[in-house]
Structure 1
Amino acid sequence: MTNANQDIDSLLKLCKEGSRNAQFEVYNRYYKPMYNTAFRIVKDSHWAEDIMQESFMKAFTKLDTFKGEVTFGAWLKKIVVNHSLDNYKKINKNALESLDSVLYKVEDESSNEDAALDFQQLKAQQVGAAIQSLKENYRIALTLFFIEGYDHEEISEIMGITSGNCRTTISRAKESLLKKLNA
């Protein structure tokens, strides 16, 4: 076991004993990636912040269910993903947010050195916009697959669909994304 794993294990033990300092340390180690995970799903910074906070609270109260079969980060990420999807489905049944609230703004830079970076950011924004414009189940499936790194089996469990349906959904989502990018 690595030092990092031993360290997180000792922190988790202290968390189970109610140590606020240990909880704060665990929070500081994981809040950025968990926020990013929630943000990619719900597409709203304030909402993602709330989901992340609630997910940490849930994780700390459910630490006894953490068996160590996966890393703590993977276990926490699953809580964040599930909580994000649940909230997204509740609030956004028919609402579509403007893409402007999702995309990061690229500042105008006049130097040639920054031109290549700006172009890459612009391309990334175009891909992001294309993903965000997909229908909900395609967007969520591609986000979980490409960005979050889940496999088909995990995605089918998270989305509540069969493994075969998951593979079909991801395949169709990829085709739809390619069509949007080539348009």
Structure 2
Amino acid sequence: MKNTQKQQIAELANQYGRQVFATAYRIVGDSHYAEDITQDIYMKLFKKTPKAFDKVNNWAAYLTTMATSASLDLLRKKHRLSEQSFSEDVLSIKSKSQPTPERQFGLTQDIRLLRHALTKVTEQEAKVFVLRFVEELSYEDIAESLKLTSSNVGIILNRTRQKLARLLSHSQITGEKHEVHS
């Protein structure tokens, strides 16, 4: 590996390290896991060839996609292995006013249900959903990162929202809302 590539990785870590960590944290809700994911992502960059480095046009979208994938993989692994609970705040709640304790409890339950439902859709569906609605990437950035067309991104998002709606409404109908162990 050339020193210039090492320098580029250091610059990427300086420029996007907080963004990568924030992405991982919003998905897994645990700072220790988010730190591990962030480190793993930058370690993976050291294994890339210079040609692979040159092919990346949008580092912010690329690294966000890597963080999303790694975070969803961890969620799926944890869900499969132990069904244990992660921290309550998996996704950031973008609200200017402080919610009441009752509303916060409801939001926490909803987040747990969404996190659980994301483990039930395909990996690609979960990635596209998180990149769009959590990371707020454009269809074009998602398409570029995942090597899809923008129209495919739209189709996948629509299908995923329908699946998640069915999964979430089923869990509410069956009372699973307060029994979910994610």
User: TM-score normalised to the size of structure 2?
Assistant: 0.59
Judge conservation of contact 2:65–2:131 (CA < 8 Å) in 1: no
Q: CA deviation at 1:55?
A: 0.3
**Bigger relative contact order, structure 1 or 2 (CA pairs below 8 A, ≥6 apart):** 2
Q: Report SS of the residue matched to 2:89.
A: coil
Q: Percent identity?
A: 25
Judge conservation of contact 2:88–2:111 (CA < 8 Å) in 1: no
What does the per-residue CA deviation read over 1:92-131, in whole Å, with 9 as the maximum and x for residues that have no partner? 21533446x2239xxxxxxxxxxx7323898577445413
Q: Which blocks of at least 5 consecutive residues in structure 1 are unaligned?
A: 1-12, 105-115
Q: Give the whole-Å Cα distance in 2 for the aligned partners of 1:32 and 1:166.
A: 27
Q: CA deviation at 1:133?
A: 1.2
Q: Which blocks of at least 5 consecutive residues in structure 2 are unaligned?
A: 91-95, 178-182
Higher Cα radius of gyration = 1
Query: Where do 4+ consecutive residues of structure 1 move more than 6 Å?
Result: none
Q: Which residue of 1 aligns with 2:19?
A: 33
Judge conservation of contact 2:23–2:135 (CA < 8 Å) in 1: yes
Q: CA deviation at 1:58?
A: 0.8
Q: Give the whole-Å Cα distance in 1 for the aligned partners of 2:135 and 2:25.
A: 12
User: TM-score normalised to the size of structure 1?
Assistant: 0.58
| More deviation, 37-46/51-60 | 37-46
Q: CA deviation at 1:15?
A: 4.1
Structure 2 matches for 1:69-80, cutoff 5 A?
Answer: 70-80=57-67
Q: CA deviation at 1:45?
A: 1.6
| Aligned counterpart in structure 2 of residue 137 of structure 1, from 120, 134, 138 | 120
Q: CA deviation at 1:75?
A: 1.4
